[in-house]
Amino acid sequence: MFSILRDKKSEICRQCDSAFPTQGSQVSTLSSSRPSVHWFTATPDPSVSVYKPFIFSPNAVISNHTKCPEEDKTAPHTLYSLHSEAIKKGGDVQSLLRTMEADCVNELEAVVANVGEDLSEFDELLKDCVETEIYGGMRGMKGLICETSDLDPEEGIRFRGHSIPECQEKLPRTPCGEQPIPEGLFWLLVTGDLPTEDQAACLSKEWAQRADLPPHVCKFLNDVPKTVHPMSQLSAACTILNTESQFVKAYSSGVHKSKYWESIYEDVMNLIAKVTPIAAKIYRNTFKDGSSVGAVDPSRDWSYNFCTMLGYDNMDFVELMRLYLTIHSDHEGGNVSAHTTHLVGSALSDPYLSYAAGMNGLAGPLHGLANQEVLVWLEKLQKDVGTDPSEEKVKEFIWKTLKSGQVVPGYGHAVLRKTDPRFTCQREFALKHLPDDPLFKIVSLVYKVVPPILKELGKVQNPWPNVDAHSGVLLQYYGLKEMSYYTVLFGVSRALGVLASLIWARALGFPIERPKSISTGLLIKEVTEMKSDEEEAEKPEHPQKNANWLSLVTFWYTIKIFQQGKRRDFDENDLTKPLDEHRSAKLGEKLSILWSEEVRRAKKNQEIPNLTKVIFKCFIKDILLQGTFLFLMEVPIRLCQPIFLGLLLRYFNPDNSESKEPLHPPMFIMRLFEYWNQKQSPIQVEEAYLFASGVLFCSLVNVMVLHPCMMAVMHVGMKVRVACCSLIYRKTLRLDLVSLSGPTVGNVVNLMSNDVNRFDLALLYLHYIWIAPLQMLLCLLFMYQEVEIAAVCGISAILAFIPLQAWFGNRTSTFRLKTAMRTDERVRQMNEIIQGMQVIKMYTWEYAFAHQIHELRRMEMIVLRATSYIRGAIMSFIMFTTRFAIFLTVLAIVLRDRPITAEKVFVITSRRPTLP
């Protein structure tokens, strides 16, 4: 029945063709978005009736007195006439909004159409915002559309393009009033046109008719304790007022989104009408005797009714309230209250919830308490310097305030670069109505003294007063001294601007506000990559990137570098782009993920995170692949080459008796196995060629494969180093100032400049930890076949040096730890000296600190010198250990009276590179 009753465009509709033929209703339906006014519903079955009031009648029939509009247009039903008259007054605003909605949509389409395909300017704007504003509270970022007002650095706030002085001149007033009424400003904010006096008066009457508060709101305000802050009461009352929301009902009924603004408009009108009695009731219950706010006079304007509800009948105070409510109404869309209201409203929350959220933001000390802070500061100044202070005393007090690290409240503005016009109009009001007030005189004196002092200080871009420098003084003068209530007045005024913007947000169909947040790590990554891409845009590609396998094996891709270096010296422009696998961002991210998993695992098991395990997990594939190649080169290839050489030398032995029988191809391979059992078997010429080819093959493979493999291993070490440096850098960005003030700075510098370099060679030696024992065992077996027990002497000599090398390694670790500690201390003190250089210069402490750093460096050099001695000893082992082992082997052969042949000597000597 609900949908059928609304099938007419206007006037009275009736229906009796449903399943209940005796069911009938008379409904006035002027707009499908408005609640219908029901005359009655009659039905024999209450369970099917969805309307109230209803009449139960077993014989309900349609009255002959009900006339259908299609039957008689000349005699509309009385109900329709009354309903039509009730909403006629608001029709002008809706009509203007419909027209302006279409115009604004066309205007936005034209702007988008003229952007063009080149979005570089928009891209640069985005980059600037990300790099300069993301950590500054988004100040200056242009991310919102606000049609109602804008903030000009020179003219201050402009309402629909009109400055404060222009609004004071052009907005309508009451017949006997001197200040414009807020109703005119609201009309301007919503429609964009200056209203006539009749239009503003019509708005006043409509707000008066909508001002009645629901019983549950009144009960809440009467029951709430007086200790609850007035702003909390205002926010809560507006929140529970959403039971009256027309938008909620329209949304639930499935109204099209293009019509959202119509029900939003109804809610906004109701909320503005009801916010003044709510605020007045809060004031009377909290600060007065809790008496009734009285009735709203439809013949009076919004500000007058508000003042009478507060209990003030002074017409000068009424004029002040008209001024106050007008100039505080809107302040573009970026401030906390306006932005919060827009943000919550973008989620399609009704105006009551959106406005309540904005009031919670306004209650914050950094937004809505500025005028109270000014008043407290003025009262303190008055107490210190008296009610009639001299200019010098005021200057002295202001300098005292500034030197104590505080600011002068009420002065300075984030955007304005001149005196706030809102301050000016309040000052003009005070000069007319309270020129002899002592507190106002102090405000005037401060206005004269503060700007020159702030200019002299040079730290404030705008040394001029803002709106908060005056408003509290005016309210105090007329007896409104409850400072905790001032923010409620601010909130009542701000309702005009934020709710007008909310109407436009729904009219333009703005989507839900959902800015993209970003973590510090991701921001650093994006900025770094963006800068890297810009810096590398002109760099040539890495020569190894497009090199073929033959070029990689022979290192031919480096020939251009040598040719270029021969012609001229290298400079920064000759640097190439790094390989993708070497980029720190990629390596650091990969290691960071695994490290986070390791930290979580360690915390769960109450263990210490293991970086070594994480590194192996991150680079295990590369490590195993290159370890396999190293094993093939160090064991099969290197151990076979002395065998080939020994058999080749046997061919040239005078005792070699060459057989004349032809040698079949399979015999070449079998000869290698016969070498173990038939050492003196003759070598034929074909075999000699085979063994010579084997020597050449091993040398060729050693040259062509071993060096690229070694370079690949060092590349993995470099990637480990880069990844660890990236991890250390990310960690330092998360350290607090307390941690950075300790030895952490020197430790970080030492880690990234010295310690991580060990990874470059560590992975190379890592493979020899497991290759060397196997290599030594096989080498011992082969040498035993040549020289028998004498081979054990040489291997034993090598094994004898292992404990000594281990001891040297242990001492090296101890000295390296001492070196790191002393380097950390020196770097930390150098960092402190650089930070305090001005103080050191001022007190001429250069020589004292230079001596201190010199002493730290001397102690560091003592440890470095000891480390160098041990390192030199270890390096010497590499040179003479294997030679000494060969010497002992040959000596053992001689002492055992065994013959020494060229074959044995060359084979033993050729084993030297294979010995660990």
- Largest Cα span, the chain: 145
Highest mean pLDDT among 435-444, 745-754, 763-772: 435-444
Distance from C-alpha of 651 to C-alpha of 689, rounded to nearest angstrom: 10
Which has the higher per-residue pLDDT, 522 or 122? 522
- pLDDT for position 737: 59
Give the C-alpha separation, 448 to 788, whole Å: 108
User: Residue 821: what are its φ and ψ, rounded to 5°?
Assistant: -65, -45
- Quote the CA–CA distance of 850 and 836 in Å, as a whole number: 14
**pLDDT attached to residue 235:** 94
Residue 653: CB atoms within 10 Å: 14
Burial 157-187 (b: 16+ CB within 10 A, else e): bbbbebbbeebbeebbbbeebebbbbbbbbb
Q: Please give the Cα distance from 577 to 583 (Å, whole number).
A: 9
- What tokens does 19 get? 């399943």
User: Containing H/E element for 156?
Assistant: strand 156-159
CA distance 827 to 750: 8
Does 159 have pLDDT greater than 60?
yes
Report how far residue 430's alpha carbon sits from residue 436's, in angstroms, rounded to the nearest whole number.
9
Task: Give the mean pLDDT of 95-117.
Answer: 55
Lowest average pLDDT, out of 259-268, 733-742, 868-877, goes to 733-742
Residue 150 main-chain phi, psi, to 5 deg: -145, 155
pLDDT at 851 exceeding the cut of 60: yes
pLDDT confidence bin for 136, thresholds 50/70/90:
low
In this predicted model, what pLDDT tens digit does every residue of 814-834 receive, in sequence order? 888 888 788 878 888 888 888
Strand, coil or helix: 459 = coil
User: Containing H/E element for 758?
Assistant: none
pLDDT at 535: 57
Q: Look at residue 360 in the predicted model and tell me its pLDDT.
A: 92
Strands 149-152 and 162-163: unpaired
Cis before 46 (ω within 30): no
Confidence band, pLDDT 50/70/90 cuts, at residue 914? low
Helix (H, G, I), strand (E, B) or coil at 686: helix
CB 471 within 8 A of CB 327: no
Between CA 768 and CA 774, with CA 771 as vertex, the angle to 5 degrees is 140
Mean pLDDT of 203-227: 91
Give long-range contacts, CB 8 A cutoff, 24+ apart: 457-462: 457/402, 460/411, 460/412, 461/412, 461/417, 462/412, 462/413, 462/416, 462/417, 462/418
Q: What would the mean pLDDT of 636-646 be, rounded to a whole number?
A: 79
User: What is the average pLDDT across 283-299?
Assistant: 86
> Of the candidates 303, 337, 305, which has an alpha carbon nearest to the alpha carbon of residue 323?
303
pLDDT at 172: 93
Please give the angle made by the CA atoms of 46, 49 and 55, to the nearest 5 degrees: 60
pLDDT in tens, 450-460: 888 887 776 66
What 3-state DSSP class applies to 467? coil
Closest to 269 (Cα-Cα) out of 338, 187, 385, 214? 187
CATH homologous superfamily of 373-482: Cytochrome P450-Terp, domain 2 (1.10.230.10)
Q: Residue 644: pLDDT band by 50, 70, 90 thresholds?
A: confident
**Separation in Å, CA 358 to CA 231, 475, 746, 897:** 11, 23, 48, 105
Q: What SS3 string covers 121-146?
A: HHHHHHHHHHHHHCCCCCCCCCCCCC
pLDDT in tens, 11-20: 334 444 433 3
Whether residue 115 has pLDDT greater than 60: no
Q: Which of 189, 177, 492 is nearest to 324 (CA)?
A: 492
DSSP output for 693-708: HHHHHHHHHIIIIIHH
Range 842-856 average pLDDT: 86
pLDDT at residue 320 greater than cutoff 80? yes
210: confidence class by pLDDT, cuts 50, 70, 90: very high
Query: Where in the sequence numbering do the catalytic residues fall?
Result: 367, 413, 468
- Average confidence (pLDDT) over 794-809: 80
What pLDDT is stored for residue 763 in this prediction?
79
pLDDT digits (tens, 9 = 90+) for 683-696: 778 878 888 888 88
pLDDT in tens, 231-268: 999 999 999 999 999 999 999 999 988 888 899 999 99
Q: State in Å, rounded, how far the first CA of the chain is from the last one.
A: 99
Q: Tell me the chain's radius of gyration from C-alpha atoms.
A: 46
Q: Where are the domains of the chain?
A: 2-88, 120-372+486-507, 373-482, 558-782, 789-897
CATH for 120-372+486-507 is: 1.10.580.10
How high does pLDDT run on average in the chain?
A: 77
CA distance 623 to 604: 29
With cut-offs at 50, 70 and 90, classify the pLDDT of residue 791.
Answer: confident
**For residues 338 and 497, is the Cβ–Cβ distance under 8 A?**
yes
CA distance 587 to 106: 50
Please report which helix (H) or strand (E) contains residue 674, including its range.
helix 666-677
- Residue 351: pLDDT band (50, 70, 90) is very high
For the cut 80, the answer to whether the pLDDT of residue 747 exceeds it is: no
Query: Is residue 493 over pLDDT 90?
Result: yes
DSSP readout, 19-84? S-TT-EEEEE-S-TTSPPEEEEEEES-GGG--SSSEEE-TT----TT---TTT-TTS--HHHHHHH
Sign of CA pseudo-dihedral 148, 152, 157, 160: negative
Of residues 575 and 305, more confidence is placed in 305
- In the predicted model, is pLDDT for residue 60 greater than 70? no
Q: What percent of the chain has pLDDT over 70?
A: 76
Give SS3 for 428.
helix
Average pLDDT over residues 886-900: 79
Closest CA relative to residue 92, chosen from 210, 186, 203: 203
What are the tens digits of pLDDT across the range 657-682? 555 454 444 555 555 555 544 455 67
Q: Is it the case that residue 95 has pLDDT exceeding 90?
A: no
Amino acid at site 1: M
Question: Which percentage of the chain shows pLDDT scores above 90?
Answer: 16
DSSP track, 206-246: HHHHT-PPPHHHHHHHHHS-TTS-HHHHHHHHHHHGGGG-H
CA distance 394 to 384: 9
Angle between helices 91-113 and 182-191 (to 10 degrees): 40
C-alpha torsion 749→753→754→757, nearest 10:
140
Q: How far is CA 657 from the centre of its chain?
A: 85
Residue whose tokens read 């508000």:
306
Q: Answer yes or no: are the C-beta atoms of 305 and 211 closer than 8 Å.
A: yes
**In the prediction, which pLDDT does 637 show?**
82
CA distances from 262 to 247, 509, 527 (A): 8, 12, 45
Number of helices (H), then strands (E), in the chain: 37, 7
Q: Which pTM value belongs to this model?
A: 0.51
Task: Tokens 């880690």: give the residue.
Answer: 751
Strand order across the 24-28 sheet: 12-13, 24-28, 37-43, 54-56
Taking the C-alpha atoms of residue 463 and residue 404, their distance in angstroms, rounded to an integer, is 18
Closest alpha carbon to 515 in 746, 385, 750, 339: 339
The sign of the CA dihedral 230, 233, 237, 238 is: positive
Residue 22 has pLDDT above 50, yes or no: no
Q: Helical H runs in 241-362?
A: 246-252, 260-287, 302-310, 315-327, 336-346, 351-362
pLDDT score of 468:
80
Sheet architecture: strand order including 156-159: 149-152, 156-159, 162-163
- How do residues 166-196 score in pLDDT, each as one tens digit? 998 999 999 888 999 999 999 999 888 899 9
Beta strands in 590-658 (DSSP E): none
DSSP tag of 436: T
> How confident is the model at residue 633, as a pLDDT?
82
Q: What share of the chain is helix, strand, coil (3-state, %, to 5)?
A: 65, 5, 30
